[in-house]
Structure 1
Amino acid sequence: MTIQPIRLFGDPVLRTPADPVTTFDKELRTLVRDLTETLLDQEGAGLAAPQLGVGLRVFVFDVDDVVGHLINPVLSFPDEKEQDGPEGCLSIPGIYIDTKRRQNVIAKGVNEYGDPIQIVGTGLMARCVQHETDHLDGVLFLDRLDPDRRKDAMRQIRQAEWYNPDAPPTVKISPHVGGGIFGR
């Protein structure tokens, strides 16, 4: 197990959809352990494989003292309830912006051995699962912001010590059209 460097905003791997996991071997279990160790070291709520430069549909989480992982997640929402609160990202350090998400989520996937698992999350767990699944789709929480919040986030990023203006990142507009939880 090794703590790995986290890729920062602007790295193309963060904008690239990850591939489904098809091989459940020692290498995958090592990835899950590296993700977990890196997450615990950084004291975050979640970390997705692309944030370590690995293009696989794997993420780990540490929410309310529950540490786990999910591979090849598929999300569903049992209701239309929303939450709007601060959200950050280990790939965008020090930036926290109120972000709309669903309040409740059901995430189905598999564990590192290929066994089916399900996470039923509310509040912070729901936010984390949605955020990390977005990473697997090449979507950042910035893409979920309304224009005013996105503008504020970009201002903060440009002022951040870690920001590299020689490699300016792109910000996508959310591919999810219409109103609902994304404020459009």
Structure 2
Amino acid sequence: MLARTLLVLAGLATTVLGFSWFVEGHHAVGAYRHAPVCGTAEATPGKDCALHETGKVTAGKVDHGDNGATYRLTVARETAPKRTYTVGEAFYDDVEVGTDVELTLFRGRVAEVSYHGHRAQNPITPWLTALKVALLAGLGSALTAHGLAGWRPGARSIPASVGALVVFLSLLGSLVFMATQWPLAVTLGIPVLGWLALTAGSTSASRDG
């Protein structure tokens, strides 16, 4: 009984650590939104700040795929090479070649392109953080299910198999949810409910196996 309790505690602790890194990753992707503007009193030395710069649209392109159209704008800057950004349909329709758009720079890269109320994020892709979160979530699920169900000879592989599925889904989910920047309650709530459902299913299958 003690061993099973320790497994559950270890699994839950591992999962909590994973979700705490998920929250940190979510905040890191959207950090530019809350950063002070460079050159203002709030932008103290050593503190990250956001810089606003004007860019000029040099080209537009619409890619049609199975999941719909993707709208892209190529923007030139005075101090860096031009780059292409994905924008919404309304954003794309409201600009033309030669239009000046506003660029928000954070930590040396363009974090957002905006124009007359239209905003298009250009988020970082936190691959390493997402991988760490996924591995911890999968390990936590396997340990928790093993502890709750016990080491039944015919079902030992079930928590490990479900844990591998949790790793895969957590990796994809972390990348998507960190980038979408929905409210944290939603962004965190959906993965937590998914983890609980998969772990509960793994536990139940192990007990019945």
The TM-score bracket by the shorter chain reads under 0.3
Higher relative contact order (CA 8 A, sep 6+): 2
Q: TM-score, normalised by structure 2?
A: 0.20
Structure that is richer in helix per residue: 2
Structure that is richer in strand per residue: 1
In our comparison, the structure showing a higher alpha carbon Rg is 2
